[in-house]
A = this chain, B = another copy of it.
């Protein structure tokens, strides 16, 4: 399959390119064409080290989307509007995969005055950082994207819980579960296949697009779990 990774020069894009580049044709899309070409060459080199002759290429986001059958949208939530508008004319009859998560970093002012002032951590008011899912008007980033698609493109939300560093490290087995949302079983089955192409990953059907908020929420949740419990590159498994 021909897979475009929009925002493919980022951390998560690197991992997808390296994992899928061994089997599929990968096109890196970016706002900066030269950067896309440079990282494509870098990814090819990494795969060559593993004995794979990959033909990963880099170009602008629109050309990448035009050339591919499957388009991974791996950009920041606040860049969604312009990118979707740009690719809309070239994605009819294609499958769009959203990895996008709308989230915000907040400062929480915790008032710890009260009965527990004897406990050291409670003896002063303190600030703490955390991330929260920031629900857009449509309910989720996926549902926002749905509104920007041509009628005959099919949207799937997936891969929100992939730890980028581990994904980009081909030595790592990724024994994790990936929640997949979408209204078309045909498209979801194709994404299930892409999940299984990554060693040990298991795809799980979560439901229609209306359920996407719950899997997008997992990204800020994982960041908090890692930051507050001395864990690293955390993902999750349903057992």
By a beta-carbon cutoff of 8 Å, the part of chain A in contact with chain B is 93, 106, 108, 110-112, 114-116, 119, 121-122, 128, 130, 132-133, 135, 151-152, 154, 175-176, 179, 183-187, 204-208, 210-211, 213-215, 217-218, 220-222, 224-225, 228-229, 231, 234-239
In whole Å, how far is A233's beta carbon from the nearest beta carbon of chain B?
10
What is the total number of copies of this protein in its complex?
2
Docked CA distance A184–B121 (Å): 9
With contacts A217-B217, A220-B214, A238-B235 taken as known, whether A130 is within 8 angstroms of B207 at the C-beta atoms is yes
Of B119, B206, B218, B221, the residue contacting A186 (CB under 8 A) is B119
Q: Are A132 and B175 in contact (CB under 8 A)?
A: no
- The answer to whether B130 and A186 have CB atoms under 8 Å apart is no
B238 touches A234 (CB 8 A): yes
A208 neighbours in B (Cβ, 8 Å): 108, 110, 128, 130
Q: Which residues of B contact A205 (CB under 8 A)?
A: 224, 228-229
